[in-house]
Amino acid sequence: MGKLEEAFKIQQRALVEAKRVNDDEYTLSLLSELGNTHRRLNNFDKAETYSLQSLELIRKLGMIENEVIILSTLGIIAKKQNRLDGANDYYEQALARADDLPVEKRDINKGNVYLNLAQLANSRNNREEAINYATKAIHAFEPDEYFRQRAFMNLQLGTAHLKLKRYNEAEKYYRNAVAGARGVSNIIAGGEKGLLFVFRETEQLDSTVHYLEKAAATREAAIEKNRIESIAEMEAKYQTKEQQAEIERLAYEDGINRDKLSRQRNLIIGGLLIMSVLSGFLYFIWQQRQRISRQHQIIEVALNEKETLLKEIHHRVKNNLQMISSLLSLQSRFIDDPAALSAMEMGRQRVRSMAIIHQRLYLRDSLSPEIGVKDYLEQLVTELLGVLNVKGLALKLEMHLEDIKLDIDRMIPLGLIANELITNSLKYAFTGREDGLLSINLQKVGDDIVLQIADDGSGYDPAATDTRNSFGSLLISTLSEQLAAELQIATTNGTTVTLRFPETE
């Protein structure tokens, strides 16, 4: 955030100077830029303060169209702060003020306000009111240049009809929004997300998966596009404001020097010669320090953005895995075959075991790619016990886990192996038993890590299970090879599976 803070300081200095010389137009320009920048950064309190100052100056200058725009901006800020009644008041003021505009500007300005009112009505669950406001805006957006507003209007209509369970109407408007967006990523993402909900509610599973994939891709594209545009915009503003502030500073100093020169010309000439040499030297030192400082700030911003982006990626992967798990759960409702149903549930739990890993990655405070195996196994066991614990079984659980961390490339295969082994014990080891023991041990031995999962159940029966054709056994074997692990199975007094693998690849 270093460059942004420097840009804010430059804008603040320019604002003070503009107010001092009573330059109302430049003051208004700076207030608007400060308000919009803070709004994009979600600093809504500061954004509201600058916008209210802009409104006061706009009314002083009698700029009606600007007043409509700033009132709408204040409504958007109030909505972001969840002050919905306040947002509605600002929009109503904007609508009333738009009536004072010339005919050629009135319709488009009122149309924009109606769109804001439609979005607000949807936020307040007033769906018919949202439809009414969006419909009022249709006439204003007929010209082709207003395709963005037209697409956004269709998005609001789709949302209102979706919540009213008018799925055919909702699908129509969402499709219109996507088709008319012309590459505007956030509108396309909203339309595809809306279609996803429509198809999910109407149980069109193939379309749901299709739009889930499209929505995820569009959202990622929108995030990347917005990030690049925001960086470019702030970079340009920073350079422009820095140059403008330097020009104004030099002009101000020049004015002071001229005043002094008129009173003490001879004395100032000698002083200026000395100061010019000293200033040049100091300026050179200052310039070098500023260059180094800017480089550090750029690196800091890049690292923060990388961390945020990486967390967002893990968050999205976790959400997508959770959606797949939910789809598998939904599909299982339509399966009657016990074997197929069991396979579906096993698949869902495997997906869930991977989702837990990505969940832990995006919830961390650091950028380290490593995950605590102890915390992961505890959460995995808790979830499996909740899903698979045998009725009437008094299960004793013993866990001895060292605090070991692994990167995601080794954590995912280890998590899937642990999921398979614990699931097998819970499902098959204690059949017909009233009590049982399940123990899980994790420790570091030299340069290796050893995971041991044991139960005192019926034991492993090679005759009952063809390991070459069992998917679970094949999965464990394949993932063990991926970890370069040594796998041992003992069947004395139950089943004990020991997995030993190197800590690093």
Examine the domain organization and report whether 450 and 480 are in the same domain. Answer: yes
| Model pLDDT, residue 3 | 62
Distance CA 350, CA 348 (A): 5
Backbone angles phi, psi at 443, to 5 degrees: -150, 160
Last residue of a domain, one of 337, 368, 399: 368
Examine the domain organization and report whether 387 and 496 are in the same domain. Answer: yes
Report the CATH number at residue 96: 1.25.40.10
Distance CA 378, CA 424 (A): 17
* Sign of the four-CA dihedral 454, 458, 459, 461: negative
Whose structure tokens read 């020991």? 498
DSSP assigned state of 467? T
Examine the domain organization and report whether 172 and 215 are in the same domain. Answer: yes
In a domain, 402, yes or no: yes
Give the three-class secondary structure for 397.
strand
Q: How many domains does the chain have?
A: 4
In a domain, 112, yes or no: no
Cα distances (angstroms) measured from residue 50 to each of 28, 141, 202, 236: 10, 30, 46, 21
Give the three-class secondary structure for 300.
helix
Backbone angles phi, psi at 500, to 5 degrees: -120, 125
Last residue of a domain, one of 228, 245, 262: 245
Among candidate residues 404, 355, 352, the one with its CA nearest the CA of residue 375: 404
Examine the domain organization and report whether 349 and 466 are in the same domain. Answer: no
Among candidate residues 341, 372, 332, the one with its CA nearest the CA of residue 356: 372
Full residue range of the structural domain in which residue 23 is found: 1-101
Examine the domain organization and report whether 381 and 361 are in the same domain. Answer: no
In a domain, 281, yes or no: yes
Cα distances (angstroms) measured from residue 442 to each of 347, 359, 481, 504: 25, 22, 19, 16
Q: Is 436 within 8 Å of 393 (Cβ atoms)? A: yes
Report the CATH number at residue 433: 3.30.565.10
Give the three-class secondary structure for 81.
coil
Cα 416 → chain centroid: 27
Among candidate residues 428, 436, 440, the one with its CA nearest the CA of residue 376: 440
Examine the domain organization and report whether 172 and 76 are in the same domain. Answer: no
Cα distances (angstroms) measured from residue 295 to each of 219, 226, 234, 301, 302: 31, 23, 16, 10, 11
In a domain, 250, yes or no: no
Task: Produce one character per residue of 493-503: b if its CB has 16 or more CB atoms within 10 Å, e if not.
Answer: ebbbbbbbbee
| Model pLDDT, residue 97 | 92
Written as tens digits, the pLDDT of the chain (505 aa) is 556 667 777 877 888 888 888 888 888 888 888 888 888 888 889 889 999 998 998 999 899 999 999 999 999 999 999 999 999 999 999 999 999 999 888 989 998 999 999 999 999 999 999 999 999 888 888 888 889 888 888 999 999 999 999 999 989 999 998 988 887 888 888 888 888 888 888 877 554 444 444 544 445 444 444 544 544 454 444 444 444 544 454 444 555 556 566 666 666 666 666 776 667 667 777 777 777 777 777 766 655 555 555 555 545 555 665 567 566 656 666 676 776 766 666 666 667 666 676 665 555 555 566 888 898 899 888 888 887 766 677 889 999 999 899 888 888 889 889 988 998 888 888 887 888 899 999 999 999 999 999 998 876 654 444 443 477 788 888 989 998 999 999 988 889 999 999 988 7
Examine the domain organization and report whether 215 and 296 are in the same domain. Answer: no
Q: Is 72 within 8 Å of 110 (Cβ atoms)? A: no
Distance CA 407, CA 474 (A): 24
**Max CA-CA distance within the chain?**
110
Distance CA 349, CA 363 (A): 21
In a domain, 184, yes or no: yes
In a domain, 256, yes or no: no
In a domain, 24, yes or no: yes
Q: Is 82 within 8 Å of 52 (Cβ atoms)? A: no
Among candidate residues 115, 120, 96, 121, the one with its CA nearest the CA of residue 106: 96
Angle (CA) 449-454-457 rounded to 5° is: 170
Q: Is 31 within 8 Å of 47 (Cβ atoms)? A: no
Expressed in angstroms, the distance from the first to the final Cα of the chain is 37
pTM to 2 decimal places:
0.44
* Sign of the four-CA dihedral 221, 223, 224, 227: positive
Give the three-class secondary structure for 266.
helix
Cα distances (angstroms) measured from residue 351 to each of 7, 35, 412, 482: 46, 45, 11, 18
Last residue of a domain, one of 101, 128, 144: 101
Distance CA 158, CA 160 (A): 6
In a domain, 126, yes or no: no
Among candidate residues 391, 490, 485, 397, the one with its CA nearest the CA of residue 445: 485
Examine the domain organization and report whether 363 and 433 are in the same domain. Answer: no
Examine the domain organization and report whether 84 and 152 are in the same domain. Answer: no
| Model pLDDT, residue 487 | 92
Distance CA 207, CA 1 (A): 42
- Which residues are within 8 A (CB) of 352 and not within 5 positions of it... i.e. 6 or more apart? 321, 322, 325, 383
Examine the domain organization and report whether 482 and 382 are in the same domain. Answer: yes
Distance CA 159, CA 74 (A): 24
Examine the domain organization and report whether 7 and 43 are in the same domain. Answer: yes
Between helices 338-363 and 373-388, what is the axis angle to 10°?
150
Examine the domain organization and report whether 291 and 345 are in the same domain. Answer: yes
